Structure 1
Amino acid sequence: MAPQLPAAAVGTGDGSKDKKLRFEAASAARQHPYKEQQKYIYADAVCCARTWLGVCDGVSGVQKMGIAPDVLPRELLAQCQRLMDTTTREMNSAWVLSLLQDAFAATHAQGATTVLLACLDESQRVALITLGDCALLVLRPSNGDDLRCTFRSQRVMMGEKTPAQVLRLPHQITGEQKELMEDCRLDTVNVRHGDLLVLGSDGLFDNLSDEAITDILQKHCTQGDLEESPKHRNRPLVQQLPVLYKSRALPSQSQLQQSAIGLVEAAIQNVVMVADGSVPLVARGNPDDTTAIVALVVEEGKLPDSDSEVELHDVYPHAEALLAKGACADRGVCSAGWWGPVCCTSAHIDRDDNEESDQSGSDAQSDLRQPTHCTVS
């Protein structure tokens, strides 16, 4: 197979080098009860760092060969972390491929695993390496708190149902460096402050549609109406609008965590086990290890819960044009759009402060395990 060249930049970010970006991330994982009953070892591994995120989905089938399926995924991500920490080179898309090659060469465990790495390069874009059927979504706030998908990764498969994978098995060393480079897919994705990334194993993306994933993050990671403040209540409407867009709080660490938990729980609940004649149970869906990372893109120097620096026209696309339509002789601009013509001298925005907040059940959270994170010994 010929090497897959880096894809063109995808999305609509600025990718400016002067805006240093980092990740704030949380993860959750759980093995489907049916797979747990079959005595399979949980074989997913994740790594969440400031400049890169990783998911490895170990192939459970090697367990029948007497090989622990969870060792190679953890070792591979640990070697990636070691190289990330010790390199002095500026990270770029081509170098990320070389890093994965070197990381695999430094592993010793037998087994097989798919790989997904999302790394911020020196241009502040995400270099995404895909080998197998793990996947990534980039979601961007627009029109207030609405999330829209700006990028969806493509799977790399060896057959209709067989994902590409790096492997090291007895008497069959097919995961050599050259072959690993040839099978990987590299995408370059523009991201910006406030974007949300969802990474997961096939247990997540086989059982949840992109729309369902977006809805879950919409529920957990976006803010409703802004908190009413006497300081803002009596201000002219034209002065309140900048407050509205500047005060869009980014998701907190707790919200990222609840989103990851919600994704895993929803994916597992979407798998239905049914009786089918001669066999005891048949799965409708994928009863697999299920792992999710939810990451927020943040500019260096900004806290995750600080004001979002998205442009006013990105949040309210028609705001500036509507505000410019009318002019008040005494005070300047009047609104003439969303809420009907209202004079800027007396307008204020009413909010519903009685909206009930969503709470996650303690039972669901207690059932979830922390995913296996890579560690360097």
Structure 2
Amino acid sequence: MAGRLLKRQASLHQFANRFLHCAPSSIFTPHLAPFAFVAPPLYEPGCTGDCEARDLRQSLPDFGESFASAAALAEVAQQDSSEDPHVQLTAAGRYALEFFTGDVRGAGTPCPATIRLVGTEGESQDFVLGDNPEEPGFRRGESISYELEVDEDLGDLRSIFVRQANPSDGVGWYLEKIQLRGLEGVIEFPCHAWLGKDDAGDFNAAQERNLIPCGAVHLQEAIAEKLLEQPLSVHASGMSVAHPEKAKDPNARAVNRKHLGWGGEDAYFYDSSGRPGISGLGVADGVYMWKEQGIDSGRFSKSLMSSALQAVRQGAHDVLTVLKSAHKTVQEDEIQGSSTICLVTIDTRVGRLNSANLGDSGFLVLGKTPVNPEMHLKYRSPQQEHQFGCPYQLGHEEKADKPRHAMLATVPLMPNDVVVLGSDGLFDNMDSEQILEDVKSHIGEHKHPSAIAQHLVSIAYNNSMDRDLETPYSLAATEAFDMIYTGGKPDDITVVVAELR
């Protein structure tokens, strides 16, 4: 089948301004149009956000029909077929597409992409996009528009197949979405996922994906409240250590207590004593550079975590409600500084994790599935940055990021899954594979989450002090600055581990 690429145009995302910078005296980057989205598990090839997934059993292959929430999700999606998301075109055979690259660390790629349009009457040939020698690939936080012409009628467009044309390690692409302009207006084909290896090389996602258009079913609403036969139980523990240069400062020394702890500007909490069936976990990382202005960001992160702990204990179960409550308390107490934050709530009755993440703290979900009986990485939250070294963060200044900017995610959980939360001190110094292997060895020895957390902190600390080691941070810095970097990144390190039984 013949076809042509008619037009290419690059533009900045409306929700990001890559030319503004973060500096100690001006910590935050303003936004032209702030956004938040529901990010699916990174392995999920299907739809998310305000989408209708035709068969979400295919979108959640790791879980299969044996898992209640995944099956319920598929049932709800199949029941609502009143709105057909197939795309009507503005002109026969001509397609106006816009590709949005995400605004997370390492999202861009120098590699071109191959796409194929799939309609009710046939498929197009493969189009190679992003192969402009002057501006190859796709840049972080930007969109590129293309006009494609297909000589034969495809009928209504059902899906878009996309893959990296020349993939290699460390040049993965975080594709946010594809938009198509048709008679009905703008139709979105969401992705919110990596293609290939991410910039740190520690997450190896699929090289290709089939994207389906949005419809009427919202992912969050589609996950029905079907109770598990046996509720899960959460066994959690946490640990913080301060940056080695802060060890002599009594205000920065680590304090590790049950349910709440801190070290340096990092802090954490975990608790299951609030609403029955709801557990809460959190990590916050205060921005040290405020110290130059006489401000202790450790107070900010500690207050966020203690306030989130109280919100969970008082019965809050919605993760965004917990985030807003913690932020409001810090504002009312007029605490200065800023902090990244990662919050997780777990509903043990239905086996579901909800998260809200601002910045470069984050979490992993590790576990086994009927499809893959070996413990493996089931989900990793992306690092949310304005640019390298400038993460999203809550703060006292008006131009700080807000709870509405948080990345939201929903992840099904199963017995024996392990959730690992960490500040960037963990994820800059250990890749996902290292974390997975360490957790596997401890789970095999039936170690308590406290032992797992302590060992992860120990490894991350040793890696941070090794000047010759290749780490996620050195790989990301190499890509960001186009210079070779080696070694770990000395920092406060915080880890929270929760095992589901």
Shorter-chain TM-score range: 0.5 to 0.7
Q: Note the 1:82-97 alignment, pairs <5 A.
A: 82-87=310-315, 91=317, 95-97=318-320
Per-residue deviation, residues 167-193 of structure 1 (Å, max 9, x unmatched): 11xxx3334xxx513320000011111
The residue aligned with 1:353 is: none
Could you tell me how far 1:17 is from its partner in structure 2? 2.1
Unpaired runs of at least 5, structure 1: 224-250, 276-281, 299-377
1:115-156 superposed Cα distances (whole Å, 9 cap, x missing partner): 001102474310011100012111114699842111111111
Aligned to 1:110, what secondary structure does the other structure show?
coil
Q: Cα–Cα, structure 1 residues 37 and 158, in superposed 2: closer, same or farther, change >3 Å?
A: farther
Give how far 1:271 is off. Answer: 2.4
1:86 Cα shift?
A: 2.1
1:17 to 227, 231, 239: 227
More displaced 10-residue stretch of structure 1: 28-37 or 112-121 = 28-37
What is the number of residues matched between the two proteins? 252
Question: What is the alpha-carbon distance in structure 1 between the residues aligned to residue 310 and residue 434 of structure 2?
Answer: 35
TM-aligned CA distance change 1:40 to 1:103, over 3 Å: closer
Report SS of the residue matched to 2:375. strand
Paired residue for 1:78? 306
Describe the SS at the equivalent of 1:138: strand
CA pair 267-124 structure 1, distance change in 2 beyond 3 A: same
Equivalence for 2:73: none
The aligned counterpart of 2:237 is 26
Question: Relative to structure 1, is the Cα distance of residues 6 and 213 closer, same or farther in structure 2, using a 3 angstrom cutoff?
Answer: same
* Aligned with 1:63 (options 273, 279, 291): 291
- Distance in 1 between the 2:306 and 2:435 partners? 28
2:365 corresponds to = 138
Secondary structure at the residue paired with 2:421? strand
Are the equivalent residues in 2 in contact too, given 1:200–1:293 (CA < 8 A)?
yes
Contact kept, 8 Å, 1:28 with 1:291, in 2: the verdict is yes
State the distance in 1 between where 2:395 and 2:442 align. 37
Q: 1:62 to 1:29 in 2, by over 3 A?
A: same
- What is the TM-score of this pair, normalised by structure 2? 0.46
Structure possessing the higher radius of gyration over alpha carbons: 1
Q: Is the partner of 1:197 in helix, strand or coil?
A: strand
The residue matched to 2:309 in structure 1 has which SS? helix
Partner residue of 2:37?
A: 5
Opposite residue 110 of structure 1, the aligned amino acid is Q
1:183 partnered with 2:402: no
Q: Which has the higher strand share?
A: 2
Residue 217 of structure 1 deviates from its aligned partner by 0.9
* Higher RCO, Cα 8 Å, sep 6+: 1
Write the distance in 2 (CA, Å) between the matches of 1:290 and 1:261.
11
Please list the CA deviations of residues 268-316 of structure 1 after superposition, one character each: whole Å capped at 9, or x if unmatched: 11124659xxxxxx98221000111111012xxxxxxxxxxxxxxxxxx
Equivalent residue for 1:115, pick from 336, 341, 346 = 341
Equivalent residue number for residue 496 of structure 2: 293
Which residue of the partner structure matches residue 267 of structure 1?
460
Can you give the 5+ residue segments of structure 2 that lack an aligned partner in the other structure? Answer: 1-32, 45-59, 70-225, 253-263, 273-278, 469-484
* SS of alignment partner, residue 415 of structure 2: coil
Provide the identity percentage: 26
Aligned to 1:98: 321
User: Structure 1 residues 82, 29: CA separation in 2 closer, same or farther (over 3 Å shift)?
Assistant: closer
**CA distance in structure 1 between the aligned counterparts of 2:354 and 2:284, rounded to whole angstroms:** 16
Which secondary structure does the structure 1 equivalent of 2:324 belong to?
Answer: helix
* Matched AA of 2:382: Q
Superposition deviation, residue 165 in structure 1: 0.2
Q: 1:72 and 1:287 mapped to 2: Cα distance?
A: 21
Q: Which amino acid aligns with 1:3?
A: F
Q: CA RMSD in A?
A: 2.8
> Shift in Å at residue 38 of structure 1?
9.1
What amino acid sits opposite 1:173 in the alignment? E
Q: Secondary structure at the match of 1:284?
A: coil
1:32, 1:23 → 2: CA distance? 30
Give 1:263 shift: 0.8
> Structure 1's 272 and 84: CA in aligned 2 closer, same or farther, altered over 3 A?
closer
Match of 1:46 in 2: 268
Distance (whole Å) between structure 2 residues aligned to residue 273 and residue 39 of structure 1:
26
* Contact residue 352 and residue 410 of structure 2 kept, 8 A: yes
Is 1:213 paired with 2:245? no
| Structure 2 residue matching 1:270: 3-state secondary structure | helix
